Amino acid sequence: MTSTGQPPSLKRRDAPLTKEGDQLTITPLGAGNEVGRSCVYMTYKSKTVLFDCGIHPAYSGMAALPYFDEIDPSTIDVLLITHFHLDHAASLPYFLEKTTFRGRVFMTHATKAIYKLLLTDYVKVSKVSVEDMLFDEQDIGRSMDKIEVIDFHQTVEVNGIKFWCYTAGHVLGAAMFMVDIAGVRVLYTGDYSREEDRHLRAAELPQFSPDICVIESTYGVQLHQPRHIREKRFTDVIHSTVSQGGRVLIPAFALGRAQELLLILDEYWSSHPELHNVPIYYASPLAKKCMAVYQTYILSMNERIRTQFANSNPFKFKHISPLNSIEEFSDVGPSVVMASPGGLQSGLSRQLFDKWCSDKKNSCVIPGYVVEGTLAKTIINEPKEVTLMNGLMAPLNMQVHYISFSAHADYAQTSTFLKELMPPNIILVHGEANEMGRLKQKLITEFTDGNTKIITPKNCQSVEMYFSSEKMAKTIGRLAEKTPDVGETVSGVLVKKGFTYQIMAPDDLHIFSQLSTANITQRITIPFTGAFGVIKHRLEQIYESVESSTDEESGVPTLRVHDSVTVKQDSDRHISLHWTSDPISDMVSDSIVALVLNISREIPKVVVESEAIKTEEENGKKAEKVIHALLVSLFGDVKLGDNGKLMVSVDGNVAHLDKQSGDVESENEGLKERVKTAFRRIQSAVNPIPLSSS
Amino acid sequence: MGTSVQVTPLCGVYNENPLSYLVSIDGFNFLIDCGWNDLFDPSLLQPLSRVASTVDAVLLSHSDTLHLGALPYAMKQFGLSAPFYSTEPVHRLGLLTMYDHYLSRKQVSDFDLFSLDDIDAAFQSITRLTYSQNYHLSGKGEGIVIAPHVAGHLLGGTVWKITKDGEDVIYAVDFNRRKEKHLNGTVLESFVRPAVLITDAYNALNNQPPKPQRERDRDFVGGGNVLLPVDTAGRVLELLLVLEENWSLKSLNFPIYFVTYVSASTIDYVKSFLEWMSDAIAKSFETSRDNAFLLKNIKLLTSKSELDSVSDGPKVILASMASLEAGFSHDIFVEWAADVKNLVLFTERGQFGTLARMLQADPPPKAVKVTMSGRVPLTGEELIAYEEEQNRLKKEEALKASLIKEEESKASLATDVNSSDPMVIDTHNKHPSLDGLGQHGSRFRDVLIDGFVPPSSSVAPMFPFYDNTSDWDDFGEVINPDDYVIKDEDMDQGAMRTGGDMDGKLDEGSASLILDTTPSKVISNELTVQVKSSLVYMDYEGRSDGRSVKSILAHVAPLKLVLVHGSAEATEHLKQHCLKHVCPHVYAPQIEETIDVTSDLCAYKVQLSEKLMSNVLFKKLGDYEIAWVDAEVGKTENDMLSLLPISTPAPPHKSVVVGDLKMADFKQFLASKGVKVEFAAGALRCGEYVTLRKVGVASQKGGGSGTQQIIIEGPLCEDYYKIREYLYSQFYLL
């Protein structure tokens, strides 16, 4: 990987030299130059890993899926899910149940626990709007059985693919995966944040630098305000709105950042008693269900929350009450409502928005990243009018504030993260095309040494890289007693397990591996009544080394042939052969068996001859047929004439052929000679050895 | 060439004393486990005290006293200051176990071997790892990778794998193969042929009865009470789940109480350790969000007063300590032992030399001597005496303080540079006190009074005023850079400090004990308790039994085996067994005897050149791929040995037959091919005439030839060749 600024085409030309197996391909099937439906496909050394399996929240049905038809799901070994958000995990039930995928799926404990609740909710919500459901609740249930859990830092190995995960900070249970295939490391960050907040830890910095870093670029070159300033703006907006008698709508996705905002609000309310008469509602039954998960997996959270947990559960809010539906909501006086979905596409947040948008006392706080194409994105630009759900236009008078709490890395975090890691290859995903482009340009100016390549593939656009991995082997055991000098030879068994190689002597195989060796001793008895000396004589004609001795136990004579097979006269009627299996000994023994049988055959001659006669007759008939057929092919019209002669007629000339003697009678000399020669040749082909000599 | 490995037991060999071993790998000293017994006998720690300062890292395997009890003491007394590694549950539950011990002891004696602060301090510096996390040590231990793996037995229990240069040293004690209600079985069996395995012989002679017998069904004979002496946060979790389930299934309504000083926080923490528990528990949480440790039938008690208020009538009490030496179990036992209706149910073998062990003897003793001690508030004369003493101390102190202050105020009036705070000086006055805890309040009062003692130089009482004069040098005021350090961290630090202190979330009962300011003293009286209640021992200790230990050892087949922790007989028994069936190198060192288990393995690394590899055809065999290579040694640019294709024709080699033939499998295979097969006299008869035999079965995996000898014999016939063909198909020929 030393191509300093060479165009990629040069790389391609090298390709045929390196082996196919050294090519590492990364293809975003989703989230390439877009935000949503994260799905990155990676293959190296015929091992295949898929990162994330999301849907695009702005589309519905099949259109929301990543481009799964670009790949063969059955070839994927491992599927790793970074966190539970829909754009990272929601196509998983589809992928597990409706495709040929047979690999293993991993996610963290907390992710798995929330995944089920979240998707069940997603199915319920989208049932109303979408006809072509991608999956149903049964599919989710079945997918749960297939998902395996992995703890942070735990190293798992599947088919020689090693992987482990680091805290990503984005939401509860969010992970960054490091995959190690044959020593090439790829880090997939998923969504990550390097800033510690109220309940989550900051993303860890892996202690190994990866060869490739697939990193999110949601916020491109933007910079976040410091946390306390954002929190202050957030609480100030809410405080001033409610104190003026307005209502605050916070459209937020039910899980993840919402918990953080609730922690902020609950704390703020606790320290401001004057606000106690203003209710805060949290309209998400789903989040209520997930609270058990938040209360359980405190180990995935930061020290702060664990400290609080020691005293009381910080997720038992004192000032926030749940709200199940808009019917329950009595809209009198100021209030703060946090409702999903975050994009204001439909549901409760939209209902409230429609209700409140024309009053300028009200405000709407958009607390996180909003996807292109949603209403939330539209109102950030503060249009004069908006379209309500019932299709009517209404003036947008409420104040719209965009205060980002979404735990994605900003430019400062991204660049320091990458500078610490110094990966030679950076692949940007999960970012809107313009943002991504700007980020790329800015990163290029930062990494001026030129050794870092920054790539922004579009969906289905493959990035190919070559890693000429050196294969190292460890020679161990008896074979390694002496380190050899240059020019000496090394012979042994090469054992490959996963991507590690060992060379060892065959005798050591059972010590260093679970393999064992075997010796197969064969003993075969053959009936033989003749003299043992005959066998010895015949063997000596074939083999160079025939040693005779006597068996120590029984005193019977033995022969050792070719130093591998022992022939022993067991009794007057039998001899036995033994040897240890290997291809050469097997061959030697087979020849001895044949030889012994031949000797035996010569003695009872009658049997042999009768057989021979029979075959001779058969042979004769066969030969005649063959002769006839060959003559036909040569001369065309060949008939069996009277007195057993063959009539060959060519262009009106006729030749008579006597099959026994080979005499040919014909008026045409030319034909006569040709038939004669043909017959002689046929004869010599059919009966190569004249019968008389036998 | 191999990595040098030395093992020195510090405690717990040839007996069942606590575990503590020093393992040195290429000069890097690991202290693995740091245990103490329930009697807290400092003499056991002698060997540790001698090496404590040389330890580079401490690995903890389980959260009970036998594995980590000596940690606070060793940190304080022996200067053990190495970083600690453990799993989160071992850290957390270990901390609670130590709290419980301390509180139980403090209640009944002037326990001064270590204090709560020592415990906190000891557990603060732990690095927490998760299972299968490969942690790369840095600095002196560069190149060493440590990884905890599931051991079973206790929540978070660890089998430590220490790897250097591809050689594994595995420390596995108290593992459990059987999957339990809350724990998965150990993964020890997944390790194959480690260079060194250190394991215990604790259970070598114990064989568990088959499972059905163990299923408990407890009758309440005539309304008696049941006492289960348990540990603080280890096996008790399994027992709780078993009881909880039984009670729900059979809808029993006898109350169950779980009494330790830390029971409430134990369960609180355990609820958040789902990641570490069995798959079944994780699954039930994922699907229904039912946390298994939301105990419905079991009440948690944390103090004596709560226990006393429990209504009479039959009940089950789980109380710590398991040894009956201290804690609630001790008191309850003394109270209940005399009643024949009661039952004391032991679930694990008691530690050697403890009351529990005595009671488990066969036949159980008729009567045992126990020391009942208690902390009683001082009354009458004693109280008066104490108060006088306190007053005297107070006066002395006040006098001293005022003297100091006098001096000080003089000093400050003289604008001498001394800006120290009177509070600071006050705290320097160490009170020789009867009860360090009781002192707390009074000292505080002193401070308050101090503040109002009029300086002798003043006319009227006034607030003391000290001029904080600042130093000047040639450049102006002396700047202390520390003053300008942004104290941003402070808040977090502070929060964490309190967090650390409150980590244990001391339950009210225990908290009151600590903050108890009423003067008290410890009284002890020895009494003899008639043991009339029935004593039952049920094995719930959650360790693999002798048989399964042996089979695991045979499977793991280490190159070298070190045996520790177990009675002399058990150790000797297992040693003999392993010498015969596991490997030829079995060691059972004595305390402080250093044995060298450096592997005599030779190894060197070579690079496999591309040219060579393109000619190699691998054959796949299970997880492995194998091939025969003949290669010529060459050198690469960076002076590495590399293997190149051989230039001369390869010398012939003896062919190697690789594979493991299982006669039973082969029989099935033949049967599926339509050959008539049966076992007869140790041989497999195939068809009419051919017999197949395995001789000299390689029972000793580590040594010997390790090669299977298979004999096939028969007369010359078609069957013979057919069966030979099938036999060959089971192997790979190289």
DSSP string over B303-361 = SHHHHHTS-SSS-EEEES-TTSSSHHHHHHHHHHTT-TT-EEEE-SPPPTTSHHHHHTS
CB nearest B272 (choices: A298, A311, A486): A298
**Which chain B residues are closer than 8 Å to A592 by Cβ?**
none
Q: What is the mean pLDDT of residues A171-189?
A: 91
Last residue of a domain, one of A402, A431, A453: A402
Residues of B in contact with A521 (CB under 8 A): 709-712
User: Among residues B506, B501, B503, which one has the least CA distance to residue B303?
Assistant: B506
B614 contacts on A by Cβ (under 8 Å): 19
Q: Domain total for chain A?
A: 5
Which chain A residues in 278-297 lie under 8 Å from chain B, judged by CB atoms? 289, 292-293, 295-297
Residue B465: its pLDDT value, please? 54
Which residues neighbour A429 within 8 Å (Cβ) at sequence distance 6 or greater?
Answer: A28, A31, A32, A38, A40, A214, A215, A216, A217, A457
| Chain B nearest C-alpha distance from A612 (Å) | 23
Q: Which residues contact B58 (CB under 8 A, 6 or more apart)?
A: B30, B31, B32, B34, B71, B80, B82, B83, B84, B85
Answer yes or no: is pLDDT of A606 > 60.
no
Claim to verify: residue A393 and residue A412 sit in the same structural domain = no
Inspect the interface and report whether the beta carbons of B130 and A152 lie closer than 8 Å. Answer: yes
One domain, residues A396 and A416? no
Q: Which of A113, A144, A480 sits opposite B602 (nearest CB)?
A: A480
Task: Tell me the mean pLDDT in the region B44-70.
Answer: 90
If contacts are CB pairs under 8 Å, which of residues 295-314 in chain A contact chain B?
295-299, 303-304, 306-307, 309-311
Q: Which residue of B135, B272, B731 is in closest CB contact with A296?
A: B272
Is the model's pLDDT at B501 over the cut of 60? no
Q: Please choose, from the candidates B290, B164, B317, B162, the residue with its C-alpha nearest in 3D space to the C-alpha of residue B228.
A: B317
Considering the entire predicted model, what is its pTM? 0.73
The share of chain A scoring above pLDDT 90, in percent, equals: 21
Closest CA–CA distance from residue B165 to any residue of chain A (Å): 11
Note the pLDDT of residue A386.
87
In a domain, A342, yes or no: yes
What are the respective helix, strand and coil percentages of chain B, to the nearest 5? 35, 25, 40
Task: Please state the length of chain B.
Answer: 734
Nearest by CB: A518 against B147, B291, B661: B661
Indicate the pLDDT class of residue B432, thresholds 50, 70 and 90. Answer: very low
Q: Tokens 């997880």, residue?
A: B623
A296 and A382 share one domain: yes
Least confident of A609-613, B221-225, B266-270: A609-613
Give the per-residue pLDDT at A656: 82
Most confident of A485-489, A658-662, B549-553: B549-553
Cross-chain Cβ contact B603/A475 below 8 Å: yes
For chain A, the average pLDDT equals: 83
A471 touches chain B (CB under 8 A): yes
- B134 and A517 within 8 Å at the Cβ level: the answer is no
B701/A579: higher pLDDT:
A579
Q: What is the pLDDT of residues A375-392, one digit of tens each?
A: 888 888 888 888 888 888
Q: Give the end of a domain, one of A458, A486, A512.
A: A512
Nearest to B660 among A488, A516, A525 (CB): A516
Residues A101 and A210 in one domain: yes
What tens digit of pLDDT does each residue of B637-672 get? 777 778 888 777 777 777 788 877 778 888 888 888
Is A607 part of a structural domain of the chain?
no
Residues A59 and A131 in one domain: yes
pLDDT at A99 over 80: yes
- Catalytic (active site) residue A408: yes
Radius of gyration of chain B (CA): 33
Q: Are residues A541 and A452 in the same domain?
A: no
What integer pLDDT is reported at residue A189 of this predicted model? 92
Q: Kindly indicate the confidence band of residue B208, based on its pLDDT and cuts at 50, 70 and 90.
A: low
Give the model's pLDDT for residue B469: 53
Which residues of chain A are within 8 Å of residue B132 when distances are taken between CB atoms?
A: 151, 154-156
| Number of other residues whose CB lies within 10 A of the CB of residue B394 | 17
Nearest to A263 by CA among A315, A300, A304: A315
Q: What is the band of A640 on the pLDDT scale with cuts at 50, 70, 90?
A: confident
Each residue's pLDDT tens digit, B361-379: 767 777 777 777 766 666 6
- The yes-or-no verdict on residue B16 having pLDDT over 50 is yes
- Pair A373, A412 in one domain: no
**Residue A88 contacts B, CB cutoff 8 Å:** no
For position B429, what pLDDT does the model report? 40
User: What is the per-residue pLDDT for B494?
Assistant: 39
CB atoms within 10 A of CB B182: 22
Q: Is the pLDDT of residue B698 over 50?
A: no
- CATH number, domain with residue A324: 3.40.50.10890
CB contact under 8 A, A496 and B653: no
Q: Which residues of A touch B88 (CB under 8 A)?
A: 299
Work out the widest C-alpha separation in chain B, in whole angstroms: 128
pLDDT of residue A49: 94
Interface of A with B in 579-638 (CB under 8 A): 581-583, 593, 597
Q: Select which of A408, A510, A562, A574 is catalytic.
A: A408
Res. B415: pLDDT tops 50: no
Same domain, yes or no, for A456 and A319? Answer: no
Convert the pLDDT of each residue in B546-588 to its tens digit: 888 888 888 888 888 999 988 888 899 999 888 888 888 899 9
Query: Is residue A235, in this structure, part of any structural domain at all?
Result: yes
**Range of lowest pLDDT (A7-21, A245-259, B11-25, B129-143):** A7-21
**Cβ within 8 Å, pair A522-B136:** no
Kindly report, residue by residue over A202-249, the tens digit of the pLDDT: 999 998 889 999 999 988 898 888 888 889 999 999 999 999 988 999
Q: In the structure, what pLDDT confidence band is assigned to residue A305 with cuts at 50, 70 and 90?
A: confident
- Enumerate residues 6+ apart whose C-beta is below 8 A from A647: A638, A639, A640, A641, A654, A655, A656, A657
- Size of the A and B interface in Cβ pairs below 8 Å: 279
A509 and B656 in contact by Cβ < 8 A? yes
Between A395-404, B83-92, B475-484, the lowest mean confidence (pLDDT) is in: B475-484
Other CB atoms within 10 Å distance of the CB of residue B36: 30
**Do A375 and A454 belong to one domain?**
no
Final residue of a structural domain among A566, A600, A634: A600
Q: Are A156 and A163 in contact (CB under 8 A)?
A: yes
Cβ within 8 Å, pair B631-A491 = yes
> Which of A108, A299, A576, A597 best tests the B interface by mutation, with the highest count of B CBs <10 A?
A299
More confident residue, A162 or B650: A162
Percent of chain B topping pLDDT 70: 78
CA terminus-to-terminus distance, chain B:
29
Does residue A1 lie in a domain region?
Answer: no
Q: Is A616 among the domain residues?
A: no
- B254 CB-side CA count, 13 A: 18
pLDDT at B621: 78
Q: Is A434 within the bounds of a domain? A: yes
**Both tokens assigned to A396:** 């947008």
Q: How large is the ipTM? A: 0.71
pLDDT of residue B103: 86
Question: Across the interface, do A310 and B733 touch by the CB < 8 Å criterion?
Answer: no
The tens digit of pLDDT for each residue in B700-729 reads: 444 444 677 888 888 888 888 888 888 888
Residue from A579, A471, A22 nearest B629 by CA: A471
pLDDT of residue B207: 74
Say whether both A262 and A371 belong to one domain: yes
In this predicted structure, the answer to whether residue A547 has a pLDDT above a threshold of 80 is: yes
Look up the domain containing A295 and give its range. Answer: 227-402
A244 shares its domain with A284: yes
Least confident range of A168-177, A598-607, B233-242, B346-355: A598-607
Task: Assess if residue A3 is contained within a domain.
Answer: no
Residue A6 lies in a domain: no
A382 plus A424 within the same structural domain: no
Nearest to A489 among B130, B632, B734 (CB): B632
